[in-house]
A and B are shown apart, each in its own frame.
Chain A
Amino acid sequence: MTELTGSTASEVAALIARERRRSGTGMLGMVLTLVVATDERGHYDALRAANDAAMEHPCRVIAVIPRAPKEKPRLDAEVGTAQRGNPGENVVLRLYGHLGEHADSVVLPLLLPDAPVVVWWPGDAPKDPGASPLGRLAHRRVTDAAACARPGASLRERLGELTDGDTDLAWTRLTPWRALLAAALDEPFDTVTGATIAAARGNPSAVLLAGWLRAKLGVEPAAKVSRGPGITEVRLSSARGDLSLARPDGERATLTRPGQPDRRVALKRRTTADLLAEELRRLDADEVYAESLAAAFPEKVPG
C-alpha cells in the first residue's frame, strides 16, 4: 500500500497508474468497479470479502471512509495492487470534513472507464441508496439489512425508495433456500394452501422469503420465532400433506414430503464474499426482489 495525505483524485489516479506499471499488469482484466461505502471499523473485513469475491469478478475496489466531519476538508488515500487473488487495485479513501458529503466527486474520476459500477454498504446504508451521492454513480446498489441497526425497519425503508439495481444481501442469502423450494415444486405437488417460516427473531431474510411466497403462491405465510441460526424451517401445506425444508443447525437441511423418504441436503450459511460474488453476477434490475419486498410489506403498497 502506498499512502497519500492531503491529496486529490487526480493524484490518486496517477498513483494507481504508476503502481500498475510497476507491478507490470494491465487493467484489461477488470470488469467493474466496486465501491465499498464503509467506516474505519468495517473496512478491513469488507475489503477482504470484496477481494475474495473478485476472484470471480476481477475489479477495482474503492473503499470510501468518511472521517471527522468537523475537520477541514482533506483527502487521504492508500493504493495497493493485486490483493487476495484480485488482480485489480485496492484504493482506500478517507474523506475528512465536508468532503465526506461529496464522496462522488472523489470516486468519479477513479472509476474504470466504461465499466459497470457497484456500490456496497456492508453496514448501515442511507435511507434512499439510489439518491445518495455514491448510489447515483452505480448500476447496482447492494445493502445489507441484517447488518443495519434495525433490520426490519431498514427493509421497510428500502421499499419506499426502491430504484432499479437496488438489492440487499438479506435477499441474496435466500437463494439456496429458494432454489431448493422451487426445485421441490418442479415435482408434482398439490396446490399450496399455506406456508410457515421459522426463523430467528428479527431475521430480515425471513421477511423477504414470506414476501416471495406471498407473491408467488398467493398464500399468507405464518411466521414462527425459532432459535436460529437464520431461517430454520419453511413448510408449505397442501390438502395432501406438508412439504418441509428444515435446517436446525445452519448446515444440513432435511426435505420432507408426503409419502416419500426424507432427503438430506447441505445448506450452509454462506460467507459475505460468496454473497457478494452472487450479486456481481447480474447487474440488471432484480424484479423478483422488488416484488418480494413489496409483498413483504403489503400494507405499504397503495391500492
Chain B
Amino acid sequence: MTASSPGSPRRRETPSWGGNPLRDPRDRRLPRIAGPCGLVIFGVTGDLARKKLMPAVYDLANRGLLPPGFALTGFARRDWADQDFTQVVHDSIKEHARTPYREEVWQQLADGCRFVQGEFADDEAFDTLARTIADLDRVRGTNGNHAFYLSVPPAAFPVVIRQLERSGLSAANGDQWRRLVVEKPFGHDLASARELQEVIGHVFPSGSVFRIDHYLGKETVQNLLALRFANNLFEPIWNRRYVDHVQITMAEDIGIGGRAGYYDGIGAARDVLQNHLLQLLALTAMEEPVSFAADALRTEKTKVLSAVTLPKDLETGTARGVYAAGWQGGVQVPGYHDEPGIRNTSKTETYAAVRLEVDTRRWAGVPFYLRTGKRLVRRVTEIAVVFQRAPHLPFTSTETEELGSNALVIRVQPDEGVTMRFGSKVPGTQMEVRDVNMDFAYGEAFTESSPEAYERLILDVLLGDPPLFPRHEEVELSWQVVDPVTEAWAARGKPEPYAAGTWGPSSADELLARDGRAWRHA
C-alpha cells in the first residue's frame, strides 16, 4: 500500500499504521506489537495480580507481543525492594503462566521490574512513583507511555485516581499516552457508578479509560460475533419467529472463599449479573454492527441494553437464593452463613435469576433468562438459544416423545465451543426421534494454546484498542436493569436457601415452570 519510492521524504510526527512503509494490510502474519510503554499495577500483592495479570504479561512477552524495553511497576503497601518484587513476579509466572517458562523472555521482563512501596494516601509514595516512571522513560525507553492498572478494592479507586492527578502521572505530553484500567465492580448501583465516573472522568478522558470485563476477552465470546455475523446459517433464525427463549448461565462450584469482606452486601446480582451476564445478553441480542470498530460495536450494545425490560412483577419474575451446607462434588461444604466473616443475619444472595425481555422488533416476547450462582453443580458459563418446536410434526406423539427443543449452545467456559442440539432418528426399524448433540471445539478445546482473556485485554490496553471494553453508558444502563431488582429484594424477605451442589433454589425452577419451560442442566 505505502511502498514509498526511494528518496522521497517520509517524515512522520505521529505514528500511524498507514505511514509505516513496512506495514502492509495484506501482511497478516505480522502481529500488532505495542509501542514503547510500561504498565503500573496497583494492588500488586493481590490474587488477581499474581494469578492473572503477571502471568498474562509474561505470556504476551513470550508470544513476542510486548515492546522491547517494556517496564512493569508494582505499587503496594508491602515493604519490598525491586528484587523482592521481581522474585514475586518470577514465582507467579512459574506457577501460573500459560506458556512455557523461557529464561530469555524472563530476563527481558525482569530488567524492567520496579517496585514502589506506599499507602494510597501517601503523597510521597506517588511522587516516588512519578520519579520511577520518569527514570524508566530514561533507561528503558518507555517514552512516557504508561497504563495504570487498578487491581484494588473499589473503595480505593477515588484516592488512587486523585493521587495520579496530583502527582502529574495522569497527564500525558504530546504523543505520549496515559491510560487507566479498572476492574469491575464499577460501583454498586447507578448512583455510585455515576460518582465513580465523575472521579475518573475528571482525570482521564473517556478514550483513556479501559473497564475490564474479562469475559469479553474470551475467545468464545468473540467467536459469538463470528458465529452470528460471518455466517448465513444462524442469523435468519436469530429472532422471535424461531427462538423460543434464551438462557444465559454462569454457574460456579466454589463458595465465596476469602472474599467475605467484598461479597457480603454485594451479592450475585451486582457481582455477576450486572456485568458479565448483561454483556453476554447484549452480544447475543444486538443487531449487526456496521463494523467491528469499537464505536460501532458499542452503539449496538448500548441500543440493546437500553431496550431491556424487567418483568412487571419482580416477585414472580426473579429468584434469589443463598447456599446452605451440603455436599458439593463429594466434599462436605459449609453454608453461606457459616462462612468466616458472614453474619447469620446477612440477606446477601449467592444465587440470582431474572427473566428479562428485549423490546425490539427482533425479540418482542422472547424471554431472556439469566442466572448465576455459587456452589452450584459445576463450573459452567454458557449461552443457550432455545428454538421453538417444529410447527407440525409428521410423527406420532410416541415417536417424538423424547424429542426436546432444538438449541444452539455457546459454551463460554470451561470447555469452550459450540453445541447444536437437534432430533435424530434412533437406529432400528421403528421411527423414534431423540435429541442428539453436535459439538464444535475448534482450538478452544485445547486451552493450552488458546490465549487467556487477560492477555488479549492487556494487549488491547497497550495498543489503545477499545472494542472489548464496556463504555460508561453500558455500565449505567446495566445498573438501571439491576437496581430495581436489588431494591425490591432489599425491601422484602430473605433469599431462599438451596443445598450446596444443586442447581439453585426451587423458586428459580418455578420462575421458568410458570412459563412452561425448564432450565438446562448445563
* Chain A residues within 8 Å of B, Cβ to Cβ: 26, 28-29, 31, 55-58, 85, 172, 175-176, 178-183, 185-192, 215-219, 251-255, 260-268, 278, 282, 286-288
How far is A143 from B111 in the complex, measured between Cα atoms in Å? 38
A283 shortest CB reach to chain B, Å: 11
A26 shortest CB reach to chain B, Å: 7
Do A188 and B12 touch (CB < 8 A)?
A: yes
Give the size of the chain B interface in residues (CB under 8 angstroms).
57
The residue that A183 contacts in the complex, of B8, B33, B449, with Cβ under 8 A, is B33
Chain B hits for A186, CB < 8 A: 15, 17, 20, 23, 35
Do A57 and B67 touch (CB < 8 A)?
A: no
B132 shortest CB reach to chain A, Å: 15
Chain B hits for A29, CB < 8 A: 439-442, 445
Do B443 and A266 touch (CB < 8 A)?
A: no
Chain A hits for B445, CB < 8 A: 29, 58
The residue that B36 contacts in the complex, of A26, A182, A189, A263, with Cβ under 8 A, is A263
Do B140 and A216 touch (CB < 8 A)?
A: no
How far is A107 from B186 in the complex, measured between Cα atoms in Å? 57
B 120-155 binary contact with A (CB < 8 Å = 1; else 0): 000000000000000000111101000000000000
CB of B176 within 8 Å of the partner chain: no
CB of B304 within 8 Å of the partner chain: no
Chain B hits for A268, CB < 8 A: 102, 104-105
Chain A hits for B29, CB < 8 A: 172, 175, 178, 278, 282, 286, 288
Do B30 and A188 touch (CB < 8 A)?
A: no
Q: A192-B21, A266-B107 are in contact. List 9 more A-B contacts (CB 8 A).
A: A176-B64, A182-B22, A183-B34, A215-B3, A217-B6, A255-B69, A268-B102, A278-B29, A286-B29
Number of A-B contacts (CB under 8 A): 144
How far is A175 from B27 in the complex, measured between Cα atoms in Å? 10
How far is A237 from B3 in the complex, measured between Cα atoms in Å? 17
Question: Residue of A at shortest CB range from B111?
Answer: A264
Do A180 and B33 touch (CB < 8 A)?
A: yes
Do A261 and B138 touch (CB < 8 A)?
A: yes
Known A-B contacts A28-B438, A179-B31, A264-B69; the reply to A185 vs B21 at CB < 8 A is yes
Do B33 and A179 touch (CB < 8 A)?
A: yes
Do B69 and A218 touch (CB < 8 A)?
A: no
Do A56 and B111 touch (CB < 8 A)?
A: no
The residue that B30 contacts in the complex, of A85, A182, A187, with Cβ under 8 A, is A182
Known A-B contacts A55-B449, A266-B61; the reply to A181 vs B22 at CB < 8 A is yes
Which 8 residue pairs across A and B have the least CB separation, nearest first? Answer: A263-B69, A218-B6, A263-B68, A265-B68, A183-B33, A182-B22, A266-B105, A251-B104
Do B36 and A187 touch (CB < 8 A)?
A: yes
Do B108 and A252 touch (CB < 8 A)?
A: yes
Do A252 and B21 touch (CB < 8 A)?
A: no
How far is A218 from B440 in the complex, measured between Cα atoms in Å? 47
How far is A274 from B61 in the complex, measured between Cα atoms in Å? 16
Do A288 and B26 touch (CB < 8 A)?
A: yes
CB of B79 within 8 Å of the partner chain: no
CB of B291 within 8 Å of the partner chain: no
B23 shortest CB reach to chain A, Å: 6
Identify 13 residue pairs between A and B in the complex whose beta-carbon atoms are under 8 Å apart, listed by A's number: A55-B446, A56-B443, A58-B443, A58-B445, A180-B64, A185-B20, A185-B22, A217-B6, A217-B21, A252-B104, A261-B69, A263-B67, A263-B69
B261 shortest CB reach to chain A, Å: 40
Known A-B contacts A29-B445, A282-B28; the reply to A261 vs B141 at CB < 8 A is yes
Known A-B contacts A218-B6, A288-B26; the reply to A31 vs B442 at CB < 8 A is yes
Do B6 and A219 touch (CB < 8 A)?
A: yes
Chain A hits for B61, CB < 8 A: 266
Question: Residue of A at shortest CB range from B61?
Answer: A266
B291 shortest CB reach to chain A, Å: 21
Do A216 and B11 touch (CB < 8 A)?
A: no
How far is A218 from B27 in the complex, measured between Cα atoms in Å? 17
Question: Residue of B at shortest CB range from A267?
Answer: B64
A51 shortest CB reach to chain B, Å: 12
B307 shortest CB reach to chain A, Å: 36
How far is A58 from B444 in the complex, measured between Cα atoms in Å? 11
A221 shortest CB reach to chain B, Å: 12
CB of B487 within 8 Å of the partner chain: no
CB of B313 within 8 Å of the partner chain: no
Do B23 and A182 touch (CB < 8 A)?
A: yes
Chain B hits for A187, CB < 8 A: 15, 35-36, 143
Question: Residue of A at shortest CB range from B22?
Answer: A182
B11 shortest CB reach to chain A, Å: 7
Q: Output the residue of A176, A263, A268 with the most chain B CB within 10 A.
A: A263
CB of B13 within 8 Å of the partner chain: yes
How far is A179 from B23 in the complex, measured between Cα atoms in Å? 9
Chain B hits for A185, CB < 8 A: 20-23
B16 shortest CB reach to chain A, Å: 8
CB of B62 within 8 Å of the partner chain: yes
Do A261 and B102 touch (CB < 8 A)?
A: no
CB of B5 within 8 Å of the partner chain: yes
The residue that A188 contacts in the complex, of B15, B26, B104, B138, with Cβ under 8 A, is B15
B460 shortest CB reach to chain A, Å: 16
CB of B448 within 8 Å of the partner chain: yes
Do A190 and B11 touch (CB < 8 A)?
A: yes
CB of B10 within 8 Å of the partner chain: yes
Q: Output the residue of A191, A192, A266, A282 with the most chain B CB within 10 A.
A: A266
B 56-76 binary contact with A (CB < 8 Å = 1; else 0): 000001101011110000000
How far is A287 from B7 in the complex, measured between Cα atoms in Å? 25
Chain A hits for B31, CB < 8 A: 179
How far is A180 from B68 in the complex, measured between Cα atoms in Å? 8
How far is A287 from B5 in the complex, measured between Cα atoms in Å? 19
How far is A189 from B140 in the complex, measured between Cα atoms in Å? 18
Chain A hits for B424, CB < 8 A: none
The residue that B13 contacts in the complex, of A188, A215, A261, A282, with Cβ under 8 A, is A188
Question: Residue of B at shortest CB range from A282?
Answer: B28
Q: Output the residue of B20, B34, B448 with the most chain A CB within 10 A.
A: B20
Chain B hits for A175, CB < 8 A: 29-30
CB of B24 within 8 Å of the partner chain: yes
Chain A hits for B102, CB < 8 A: 266, 268
Question: Residue of B at shortest CB range from A285?
Answer: B26
Chain B hits for A191, CB < 8 A: 4, 7-11
How far is A42 from B241 in the complex, measured between Cα atoms in Å? 57
Do B4 and A218 touch (CB < 8 A)?
A: yes
A274 shortest CB reach to chain B, Å: 10
Question: Residue of A at shortest CB range from B105?
Answer: A266
A166 shortest CB reach to chain B, Å: 15
How far is A175 from B449 in the complex, measured between Cα atoms in Å? 19
B337 shortest CB reach to chain A, Å: 45
A57 shortest CB reach to chain B, Å: 7
Chain A hits for B442, CB < 8 A: 29, 31, 58
Question: Residue of B at shortest CB range from A265?
Answer: B68
Do B446 and A218 touch (CB < 8 A)?
A: no
Residues 51-107 (chain B) with a chain A CB within 8 angstroms:
61-62, 64, 66-69, 102, 104-105, 107
Do A55 and B448 touch (CB < 8 A)?
A: yes
Do A253 and B68 touch (CB < 8 A)?
A: yes
Chain B hits for A265, CB < 8 A: 64, 66-69, 108
Do A264 and B108 touch (CB < 8 A)?
A: yes
How far is A265 from B30 in the complex, measured between Cα atoms in Å? 17
B171 shortest CB reach to chain A, Å: 21
Known A-B contacts A191-B9, A261-B138, A266-B107; the reply to A183 vs B26 at CB < 8 A is no
